[in-house]
Structure 1
Amino acid sequence: MMMLGRFDMALPEALIAVLLGFAVLYLLDVFGRKRKDREPPLIKGWIPYVGKALEFGRDPSTFLAALKKKHGDVFTVRIAGKYMTFVMNPALYPAVIKHGKQLDFHEFSDEVSPRTFGYPPIRSPKFSGLHEQIQRSYQFLKGENLNSLAQSVVENLELVLRQDHMTEGSQWMTDELYGFCFRVMFEASFMTLYGRPAQGSRHTQMAELAKRFRKFDAILPFLIAGVPISLLGAARSARKELKCFLQPQKLASWVAPSRFIQERVEVFEQYHLLGDLDKAGHHFTMLWAAVGNTVPASFWAVYYLLMDPEALAAVREEVHSVLEPGSEWSHALTRERMDNLLLLDSALSESLRLSAASMNIRVAQEDFTLMLAPDYSVDLRRGDIVALYPQSMHMDPEIFEEPQTYKFNRFVEDGELKRRFGKPGQKLTYSCMPFGSGSTKCPGRHLAVLEIKQFLSLLLLHFDIELLEAQKPVGLDLSRAGLGILFPAADVRFRYRRRTV
């Protein structure tokens, strides 16, 4: 009875404390930020701190479209304590993308990436010059370096496909499409970057590693949002195990890593204040960068082809055209030949247009006036986030006719790739932006596109593939909106069999 009485007394005290907390937040909100002249319209929402985070999280595109209709091309929204100024007119994008001094991405990435992947911030006197050396390492993901990466990618893809999915005879095998894409792409990407084991052709722990990766990846939006990983127990242990697998002593025992990873290993060795798990955190960041968006992009590329028999037949015929009599497929699918497959390129660009929902972010470094056009400017405050949300552009019917419809040849015109689209009477510098923009554009995008093209090519060369009947069309999972390629809302069953050529 005494304990019950104490509980009865504690309950109103706790309730009063909660109400006081909300009252403080409300007062801060009431007497807090007000819109000034020349600033964009301000939408704060009625929930202190949270603002419009819930509405944005449910369906960003619909939410932003409604605000654009009401407030115009530029407006500021409070989302989870941050003030985000959205620029919704793609004709105004260049002013944001090319504006370097007062709008910067690094303040955001320097905070989020170390917290998410578990390593100390590198912009510190402790690690002088490290950031610059890391940036220089990205040169090994483009240009002539892509030729050797292309060979490695296709060899690893074919190794996994042959050993796991090519049975004798021509019987049909069934699987879930996203799971299939994940297993193949994850292992092939891992071996391409970090190399193969000294003994045997494949890493024996790859299935467990992939399982841990998916567990971590599932809670990534919470980490990006600032939820401490200590509150996400399963993710915390998954991250630790993934990092342990990528410690320097393990990497040193593997054969034929990419020049990109070799360069980063050599750079990290120069910094003795970086512990082994810190270095592993950097390597884990690159693993996620190589897989996190590439796998769902691969899924959508395959899925849309399977949903469109005409597209599937046309792209398969084009892929076969790169083969020379007697040539081995792993040597035929070179970077140069992949670049010349226009329909394959267009089909991939179209699936990316439909599934990409990245948010391009810059942080205002000071109070200043942003000139968006010769006769249009807005005032911004230090610390405000300026955001572009290209999915709204990708779904604009004035830019892309019937934007909800998959058209595999949309990006081909007069026998050449079509990269520029526009509105009636208006040319646009940017019209399709699945990989970010300007200085924040994904440095690994060339490798990602190449790998997806090679994966698609090998599937079309090696297998007959088709979706199982009586399945609902797959929608987009909006829970990762803003982070890149959206996941499917559900997996889909398909079947495949070895193809006789």
Structure 2
Amino acid sequence: MTFIMDPFMYPSIIKHGRQLDFHKLSDTLAPLAFGYPPVMNRNSPGLHDEIIRSFQLLQGDNLTPLTESMMGNLMLVFRQDHMGERLGEEGVWKSGGMYEFCSSVMFEATFLTIYGKPPLASRHSGMGTLREDFLRFDTMFPLLIAKVPIRFLRQAKASRDKMINYFLPHRMLCWSNTSMFIKRRLELLDQYDTLRDVDKAAHHFAILWASVANTVPATFWAMYYLVSHPEALEVVRQEIHDILNLSGIEFSTDKEVMLSRQQLDKLLYLESTINESLRLSSASMNIRVAQEDFSLRLDGERSVAIRKEDIIVLYPQSLHMDPEIYEEPQMFRHDRYIQNGREKTDFYKDGQKLKYYLMPFGSGSSMCPGRYFAINEIKQFLCLMLLYFDLQLEEGQTRATVDSSRAGLGILLPTKDVRFRYRPRVVKQDKCVTSATSMSSQMSD
């Protein structure tokens, strides 16, 4: 296994998608973890390519209905579980674990958005139990990826079996408002008679893991850094209000808000905050396996002989924490990715501009296909938290630190949960109108 530490060599590795492949390795490890048969085999001709094509339903124009659905489902969970019976009424302070809060809200809202709702109800029963099983399985996930047989991990196997049963076809057919992405996968898997119902259900369970296993900790870190930096929180909160005001929306906490995909795209400080939190918390490995002997050219002068089955690894955390690329890399700066009122994309090392400077979602053929949806989910969650709640960290806590035991698998979890306080805010329309008027005055000055 060879680690490539020079970020200027990354483009050479990434562009050799045919010789340096990820999919065969994934097709070996994913079935061990999730319990479905390998996809790239003679019994399922064309299935792998069709699965890859289905991910297009998470991108482009298909992102708009997903974003709208997620906004509605987040409002549903927030309103029923955390806002009280009536919006716009100042509530008492509540205390809780920040990671637990993010996990419970994002898990259920994402589930409803992707898989849909049960018959005759707006929310699935037993969602708390399902999330507990998910967490038990996810705790053992590093061992499964390391090829420890699941029969030796009895709790993980029991939890996986229960979650797979949740996605059996006869159950999913009763759900409504299912995303086009899942509808397409249901149709696709039904075309293969060699797949049992339990195999199809395992595929859907794998999508659940892919949808929340990294998004939840990413949401936590973005929220934690905002709440622990009140000045950044106020900048982002004002940016959200300004976007609403410029759209002619007079926000008040006694009404539900629906931020559009276009509005989310304009939240530059929020996106910079999320990118900065991803930089500080992501520790993924981009693994490639050589499919043939070939000469890999690294630059204009250097090349290296690669043998078939050689494993090449990119470890982007090394560039994320490089002080030559990022000044004071251990520090959180909410505006690190903004320059002159625009997104900053120019980062340098040794006086040369980097093509790849932020890589929390992988690269090339292994880049997360749901990355745009994930970023929008996090934006939506944070928008609602900042619009509808006052937020504080509880006193007497040490700074949150990352647990490196999952290094290589994506976003790192905190070593322990963070205690915080929250209460519903009261913001009336005239307050936002004043804000908009003040902003317009400042712009004219």
Please classify the TM superposition score into its range, dividing by the shorter chain length: over 0.9
Aligned residue identity for 1:111: T
Are the equivalent residues in 2 in contact too, given 1:358–1:482 (CA < 8 A)? yes
Map Cα deviations across residues 26-53 of structure 1 (whole Å, 9 max, x no partner).
Answer: xxxxxxxxxxxxxxxxxxxxxxxxxxxx
Are the equivalent residues in 2 in contact too, given 1:322–1:333 (CA < 8 A)? no
Task: Select 1:349's aligned residue among 267, 275, 284.
Answer: 275
> In structure 1, what is the equivalent of residue 144 of structure 2?
223
> In structure 2, what is the equivalent of residue 153 of structure 1?
70
Distance 1:492 1:327 in 2: 30
> In structure 2, what is the equivalent of residue 268 of structure 1?
189
> In structure 2, what is the equivalent of residue 134 of structure 1?
51
Distance 1:215 1:327 in 2: 40
Deviation of residue 327 (structure 1)?
6.1
Map Cα deviations across residues 447-468 of structure 1 (whole Å, 9 max, x no partner).
Answer: 0000000000000011001110
Distance 1:493 1:157 in 2: 22
Map Cα deviations across residues 220-245 of structure 1 (whole Å, 9 max, x no partner).
Answer: 00000110000000000000000000
> In structure 2, what is the equivalent of residue 116 of structure 1?
33
Are the equivalent residues in 2 in contact too, given 1:297–1:355 (CA < 8 A)? yes
Task: Select 2:116's aligned residue among 191, 195, 203.
Answer: 195
Distance 1:318 1:331 in 2: 15
Distance 1:132 1:431 in 2: 30
- The answer to whether the aligner puts 1:443 opposite 2:369 as a matched pair is yes
> In structure 1, what is the equivalent of residue 129 of structure 2?
208
> In structure 2, what is the equivalent of residue 382 of structure 1?
308
Map Cα deviations across residues 60-97 of structure 1 (whole Å, 9 max, x no partner).
Answer: xxxxxxxxxxxxxxxxxxxxxxxx11110000100000
Are the equivalent residues in 2 in contact too, given 1:155–1:330 (CA < 8 A)? no
- The answer to whether the aligner puts 1:467 opposite 2:393 as a matched pair is yes
Task: Select 2:324's aligned residue among 385, 398, 412.
Answer: 398
Q: Secondary structure at the match of 1:144?
A: helix
- The answer to whether the aligner puts 1:283 opposite 2:204 as a matched pair is yes
- The answer to whether the aligner puts 1:175 opposite 2:96 as a matched pair is yes
> In structure 2, what is the equivalent of residue 94 of structure 1?
11
> In structure 2, what is the equivalent of residue 488 of structure 1?
414
Are the equivalent residues in 2 in contact too, given 1:151–1:331 (CA < 8 A)? no
Distance 1:133 1:336 in 2: 30
Q: Secondary structure at the match of 2:305?
A: strand
Q: Secondary structure at the match of 2:107?
A: helix
Aligned residue identity for 2:358: C
Aligned residue identity for 1:149: L
Q: Secondary structure at the match of 2:208?
A: helix
Are the structure 2 counterparts of residues 327 and 198 from structure 1 closer, same or farther at C-alpha, using a change threshold of 3 Å? farther
Deviation of residue 366 (structure 1)?
2.1
Higher relative contact order (CA 8 A, sep 6+): 2
Are the equivalent residues in 2 in contact too, given 1:151–1:330 (CA < 8 A)? no
Between 1:374-383 and 1:149-158, the stretch displaced more is: 374-383
Aligned residue identity for 2:417: D
Unaligned runs of 5+ in 1: 1-83
Aligned residue identity for 1:399: I
Distance 1:280 1:309 in 2: 44
Distance 1:106 1:137 in 2: 15
Aligned residue identity for 1:315: V
Higher Rg of the two aligned structures: 1
Are the equivalent residues in 1 in contact too, given 2:97–2:419 (CA < 8 A)? yes
Deviation of residue 424 (structure 1)?
3.6
Deviation of residue 367 (structure 1)?
2.6
Q: Secondary structure at the match of 2:243?
A: coil
Aligned residue identity for 1:98: K
Deviation of residue 381 (structure 1)?
2.3
Distance 1:486 1:381 in 2: 32
- The answer to whether the aligner puts 1:163 opposite 2:84 as a matched pair is no
Q: Secondary structure at the match of 1:221?
A: helix
Aligned residue identity for 2:125: T
Aligned residue identity for 2:47: L
Task: Select 2:226's aligned residue among 287, 305, 323.
Answer: 305
> In structure 2, what is the equivalent of residue 455 of structure 1?
381
Q: Secondary structure at the match of 2:16?
A: coil
Are the equivalent residues in 1 in contact too, given 2:17–2:364 (CA < 8 A)? no
Deviation of residue 330 (structure 1)?
5.4
- TM-score by length of structure 1 reads 0.82
- CA RMSD after TM alignment: 1.2
Are the equivalent residues in 1 in contact too, given 2:72–2:258 (CA < 8 A)? no
